[in-house]
Amino acid sequence: MPRSSGGGKMRSRAMRAAFRLEDHEHLSCFIVIGTAEGKIKERPRRSVEQALRVWSG
């Protein structure tokens, strides 16, 4: 089972096929429920300023 369920994995062909998504359909979230197999290594987290932007489209 993948540890991460966001980003590119949400748009992968495997996920699209598993949920039989049409071209116009998109996954908005996926919740993984299970038991951790070991300690998850720490990752550096982005600051709020790095993660968010103001869209002025």
Of 33, 48, 47, 45, the C-alpha closest to 3 is 33
Domain ranges across the chain:
1-36
Distance (Å, rounded) from C-alpha 44 to C-alpha 33?
24
pLDDT tens across the length of the chain (57 residues): 444 555 677 778 888 898 898 989 888 887 878 887 888 788 898 888 888 877 776
- Which pLDDT value is given to residue 2? 45
